[in-house]
A and B are shown apart, each in its own frame.
Chain A
Amino acid sequence: MSTGIKNLLLTLSKKNKISLPETELITAIRNKEKIGSEALYDMYSPALYGIIFRTLQDEEQSKDLLQDAYIKIWNSFASYDESKGRLFTWMVNIVRNLVIDRLRSKDFRNSNKNQDIDNSVNAIDEQLNTSINPDTVGVKDMLKSLKPESKMVLDLVYFRGYTHVEAAEELGLPLGTVKTRIRIAINTLRKIFN
């Protein structure tokens, strides 16, 4: 009995993730190939789920929303235009719009107590006890070079479903300051990732 379960788990964990170069992936999705859907899921679901879960902070709702997002991405793929930006950016924007709609829906506000904005992305990582990817340990250190006030603004917008206008209101800052801080934060990230 227990060895049976163990074998099943092994089979599942051994399953290889499918990854394709971005141009091939886009072609496969346009052709509605199964391998395209699998690669789309395997390559981007952790990053997208990270954004969704940090915003909704509820596992069931986050899973449902990830599914809604993938259905929308898949079905409206004709409207994606490579010349206007990367595939991931386009997907994140679809996710963000769904997340923001969800946050504003009545039943979400009823079922979730408003979380403090101090409950930041890092606090979620502590809760989840996410395993550290050895490839990116150095990156984690470098992320510490993000100025806290800039990181706060970027995280509110990128991970917490705030528009930059709402972030300005929440933090009591002029809109110009918010834009500047977002730019400073992204400039720091560019030094880290480029």
Chain B
Amino acid sequence: MEDLKAYIESGVLELYALGELSPDERHEVELMLARYPELKQELEEIEHALAGYSEEYAIEPDESLRNRILESLDTVSTEQVQPVITLTERRHYTFYKYAFAASVALLLLSIGSIISLNSRLKESNSRIAALELSNQKFTNRINYTDRMLNEANEALTVYQRPGEYRLVKLNGTPKTPGASMSVAFNPAKKIVMIDRASLKMPENDDKHQYQLWALVDGKPVDLGVFDAGDSDKGMIKMKSLERAQAFAVTREVRGGSPVPTLEQMVVIGNI
């Protein structure tokens, strides 16, 4: 009896119930259990306590798992018991109804998410369009600013390097006494520019333009056309030229004429 008490207190039955013993140890315990009913009683109480403990911590598995697991267990059909069969069929039917409901729910969910995605896509597209527009505006502004900067720099070169550029002042003819302008001329680089800031000319209409001429050895050479009156204030580069004795501007039909209309001469200046 003392030995049994020590055996119980060793905790070996608890380890047996927990499945913690080697096959040999299990076999030994099973021999002891068969021999001593007290040990069997002791083991039953241990098992009962552990079962109770696990029930305290039980977790109900997902409802769908029941069918899945029961279908994977091979059973012998018991046809003589009518209620069991109807129960089975009902459950089977219920499964399909449930599956159908789940499919429909999934479909609705999908449609919902497609609609929401689509509207988000539209929103994104219009946002992209707006960004492209403002990007275009910025590009235009930068191009404009670049052009203004270049013009300003060129004008600056003309005035900063008087040795390179010759500023030729063109004055009004008897018909247009108030008119005047300046032409910058660099013979070495064959550059002719009009300083728009210096333009004091009557505004031309849409059908006419001013045309700049150079007098080279007594013959007029076309240097291109320009407008007076618009707000740009930089230098305009005209056609290139190596040498000249004088510059003159005539009023011509828009696009310019092959030969100057002398009656329409507005300003002239010798170099």
Which residue of B45, B57, B98 contacts A50 across the interface (Cβ within 8 Å)?
B57
- State the main secondary structure of chain A at its contact with B: helix
Residue among B52, B73, B91 with max Cβ neighbours from chain A (10 Å): B73
CA distance A3 to B121 in the complex (A): 34
Q: Does A145 contact B (CB under 8 A)?
A: no
Let me know if A49 and B46 touch, CB within 8 A.
no
Chain A: CB-nearest residue to B60: A46
CA distance A9 to B109 in the complex (A): 19
Chain B: CB-nearest residue to A88: B51
- B115 / chain A contacts, CB cutoff of 8 Å: none
Residue among A32, A154, A189 with max Cβ neighbours from chain B (10 Å): A189
Let me know if A33 and B76 touch, CB within 8 A.
yes
- B58 / chain A contacts, CB cutoff of 8 Å: 46-47, 49-50
CA distance A51 to B19 in the complex (A): 14
Q: Does A92 contact B (CB under 8 A)?
A: yes
Let me know if A47 and B75 touch, CB within 8 A.
no
Q: Measured between C-beta atoms, what is the minimum distance from B249 to chain A in Å?
A: 86
Which residue of B30, B55, B59, B84 contacts A84 across the interface (Cβ within 8 Å)?
B30
- B88 / chain A contacts, CB cutoff of 8 Å: 34
- B61 / chain A contacts, CB cutoff of 8 Å: 45-46, 49, 62-63, 66
Known: A66-B65, A189-B53. Contact between A32 and B45, CB under 8 A? no
CA distance A97 to B18 in the complex (A): 11
CA distance A180 to B91 in the complex (A): 49
Number of interface residues of A (CB under 8 A): 69
- A42 / chain B contacts, CB cutoff of 8 Å: 66
Let me know if B74 and A74 touch, CB within 8 A.
yes
Let me know if B76 and A67 touch, CB within 8 A.
no
Q: Does A37 contact B (CB under 8 A)?
A: yes
Q: Measured between C-beta atoms, what is the minimum distance from A93 to chain B in Å?
A: 4
- A38 / chain B contacts, CB cutoff of 8 Å: 70
Known: A97-B19, A157-B18. Contact between A194 and B48, CB under 8 A? yes
Known: A38-B70, A92-B54, A96-B19. Contact between A128 and B59, CB under 8 A? yes
Let me know if A12 and B72 touch, CB within 8 A.
no
Let me know if A34 and B75 touch, CB within 8 A.
yes
Question: A49-62 toward B: CB 8 Å interface, digit per residue (1/0)?
Answer: 11101100001001
Let me know if B14 and A186 touch, CB within 8 A.
yes
Q: Does A121 contact B (CB under 8 A)?
A: yes
Tell me the residues in window 115-134 of chain B with beta carbons closer than 8 Å to chain A beta carbons. Answer: none
Let me know if B66 and A41 touch, CB within 8 A.
yes
Which stretch, A102-110, A111-119, A136-144, touches the partner chain B? A136-144
- A51 / chain B contacts, CB cutoff of 8 Å: 54, 57
- A74 / chain B contacts, CB cutoff of 8 Å: 73-74
Question: B210-227 toward A: CB 8 Å interface, digit per residue (1/0)?
Answer: 000000000000000000
Let me know if A32 and B57 touch, CB within 8 A.
no
Tell me the residues in window 1-58 of chain B with beta carbons closer than 8 Å to chain A beta carbons. Answer: 9-11, 14-20, 30, 33-34, 43-58
Known: A32-B76, A46-B58, A180-B11. Contact between A89 and B65, CB under 8 A? no
- B78 / chain A contacts, CB cutoff of 8 Å: 33-35
Let me know if B55 and A47 touch, CB within 8 A.
yes
- A96 / chain B contacts, CB cutoff of 8 Å: 18-19
Let me know if B54 and A86 touch, CB within 8 A.
no
Q: Measured between C-beta atoms, what is the minimum distance from B19 to chain A in Å?
A: 4
Q: Measured between C-beta atoms, what is the minimum distance from B245 to chain A in Å?
A: 93
CA distance A37 to B65 in the complex (A): 13
Let me know if B17 and A85 touch, CB within 8 A.
yes
Known: A5-B105, A86-B47. Contact between A159 and B57, CB under 8 A? yes
Known: A71-B73, A157-B18. Contact between A46 and B66, CB under 8 A? no
Which 9 pairs, one residue from A and one from B, show the smallest C-beta to C-beta distance? Answer: A193-B52, A93-B19, A46-B58, A189-B49, A183-B11, A34-B75, A49-B61, A179-B11, A50-B59
What are 28 inter-chain pairs, A to B, with CB distance below 8 A?
A8-B101, A33-B78, A34-B77, A41-B69, A45-B61, A46-B55, A49-B60, A51-B57, A59-B62, A63-B62, A71-B73, A84-B30, A85-B16, A85-B17, A89-B19, A89-B47, A92-B19, A97-B19, A125-B57, A130-B59, A136-B56, A164-B18, A179-B11, A179-B15, A182-B18, A189-B50, A190-B46, A193-B53
